[in-house]
Structure 1
């Protein structure tokens, strides 16, 4: 299995298959593009030519490189022609039975040294390889859309995939200018598993009427540093696609509650409101989200006379401006017998706040005035435990730690996967270390007490890291 990869076969000429074929061909590989539909292949090759010629027109690619890349791709309708391939990448329908039948055929057609891989995003590599001759050569090679642009590729091991195959695939991916990460075959692999809370917490906030969708997205984007808000992103991905992945992960984990799908998202799917591709999802398209209503500028007479700053609390006369620890503002105000304004984590120009129900307006506006003087746009939402950014980040950290503890992937690969696969501002494990494991643990424990749900249960590795952190501090 150590022979060099010279010829690559790609099965499926849809968006992903055509994109993968382009990646391999532009890296100098001979490519056999197979589809049961000759017309689909013709459309795919025509679209590929148009994309490459557009790059030539923009000065991003030479005419010679364009023509040479296209010449390396040969369309084949006979599956038997793939016997010449050193590497097969299947990018067909996301259906286990279809994939198993196809891989059984490939194992008969291709010699034992041919590497057989699937671009699946959710189906078990172990299940695909079951019953296939020489299953040790079967692996996952999960590209992200659009494949020519996205740097990340998940190299996925089934139970019997050989280490030699993983090494060879990783070297191939690197030669194509991509960044491989290695993981075990587990529901969602790295990215689609660890990313679930990013969507789930946004849907929960929307269902509980914490804020309008555009406010939720603004909070995660402008305060959290994420490249796009989760609700807008589901519209872009397609509500049907995102919901199907969530359901797949939920069912594969035996209905683990932290992966619970959203009834509101299901309603959108049932209504055919699938997002950008249908013109309506969470938002109408192409207009997208409405303008966000920030808190008006507070007049200077609300300025506090006495200001004291500690780590997570600013005291403004009798008002406490606190960074959330998972409590609601009202719970903190009741406990401390003071007016409380609860503040979310902010890494940008926007800060999300919630206020205790008993606050006087002048007390609340002392805190808002102070925040506005720090250059922040203030987004007021309902009194919600953990607010929007902090609870989302804490859940991402927890999920990443759970994946690490269960041997899904290394710490480095988990961080790399989330930065490159979904463009998070930091890897979740690096984020957890920066924020402090004890703070993440405390917030999740508070959320779990508030809701009485398993959804917010901290994983045992988080507890271990929090204990180590406290022992270092002492």
Structure 2
């Protein structure tokens, strides 16, 4: 399907940061853009903000002055909604309120020709519900940009129950023509990104509530071990806790209080206290002048003797960690076994979703240390470990020393199921699998959305494949057994793939 020709006029309703950004994207692609806002002078201010953004690019020699002037010149503020009547595509980017959006769409349907596509930039409202009262609901589609629209690559193209496939395909092609990365999604709560991303925040918040460690350490582990661009507490401070908490509550209520989406009491308290993050000056971190950001908890250097490292079996995804240990001067002895390392009094194993204490009792290995998942063990700079309650102080020291020997900082956590990165990745993969199972999007579009929309180091379903042999399914089963909660139930698709020994990608 072809994209909209650049000769076709585009209209953007709502001239706030998002609307102005969308107008800039369309104007950069060569379209003439009508920018309307019911607030006095807001459309002019929106165009001015675009001009300021582009001027920064000119000042950095990333764009010529003429190019910037041409883009701004294609944005035309209009004071009356009737002035957008000849647009071929109208994108609304107004307040997230179903009633207000419905009223606007009904007025646009009356003003615009029958071939005009009506798109909504909503991040949470059902496209089906938005279009339900229109005479021609088939021309209503979601076109969900991410903020800031000129910089963020992802556009979710969302089909409501009545949305024409032709309309969705035109918008998909148009978004691609505008230099974006479009993905198809069906109109379910949260679409792709706002649904699949919930565990990234939720599991860290739960670990904080369970006193596993502090926020700076959890952030550092998800950055330095997980490969995520920002930790969840840094990110929610940036987004704003009022916004992030509202999205979580919306998804939770839309899914009839499914425990997978349970909001956090910690975040609720921050919102009630007005500690909304960067915009209020305080959230999980203090943003007032002169306050240093707290450092993650890091174990001091632990001494170890010349004892050899005994490798029992294969370490699976953690095999590159052994390669780093091999590069040191320690003696390596290899023999068959369940996939673990012995060093001094310590036995180290990759977490399987159980608490170290629980696993030690089941396996009869009482000096057990479980270590966390890393996106890339060959480059990881920090790892979490947790010790079984039965372990000796000497075993704790030996476990830390071995990880440190590989040049990796150690954060010692309280013993909690699945540690940090492993349980987060498992839950992200679980939510992605359920979205695929329910036809929200294809596995490839889900993974693409999470990478393009949130800069994840890898799509959760491809990451699950890379971990191999049903590992995510088993981690989830163990989390569910440890907590006794439906929150950690494995997706039916993960279960099926596990027993069929099948991956999401061939």
TM-score norm. by structure 2 comes to 0.91
- Unpaired runs of 5+ in structure 2? 316-339
1:280-304 per-residue CA deviation (whole Å, 9 max, x = no partner) reads: 0011115573112311111243x53
Aligned match for 2:71, one of 55, 69, 80: 69
Spell out the pairing of 1:39-438 with structure 2 (5 A cutoff). Answer: 39-285=41-287, 287=291, 289-301=293-305, 303-312=306-315, 313-335=340-362, 336-346=364-374, 347=376, 348-436=380-468, 438=470
CA distance in 2, matches of 1:396, 1:211: 21
How far apart, CA to CA, are the structure 1 residues paired with 2:461 and 2:201?
18
Report SS of the residue matched to 2:285.
Answer: coil
- Give, in angstroms, the shift of residue 405 of structure 1: 0.5
Shift of 1:454: 0.5
Task: Determine if contact 1:437/1:462 at 8 Å carries over to the other structure.
Answer: no
Alpha-carbon RMSD across the aligned residues, in angstroms, is 1.5
Shift of 1:369: 1.1
Shift of 1:317: 4.2
**Do the aligned residues in 2 keep the contact of 1:318 with 1:338 (CA within 8 Å)?**
no
Deviates more, 1:136-145 or 1:330-339: 330-339
- The corresponding residue for 2:325 is none
Per the alignment, do residues 322 and 182 of structure 1 end up closer, same or farther by CA in structure 2, a change over 3 Å counting? same
The alpha-carbon deviation at position 368 of structure 1 amounts to: 1.2
Using structure 1 for the length normalisation, give the TM-score: 0.97
Unaligned runs of 5+ in 1: none
Q: Which runs of 4+ in 1 moved over 6 A?
A: none
* CA deviation after TM superposition for structure 1 residue 25, in Å: 0.6
Q: Aligned with 1:277: secondary structure?
A: coil
Q: CA deviation at 1:134?
A: 1.2
CA contact (8 A) 2:93 2:122 kept: yes
Q: Report the Cα distance in structure 2 between the residues aligned to 1:207 and 1:146, rounded to whole angstroms.
A: 32
* Matched residues, number: 470
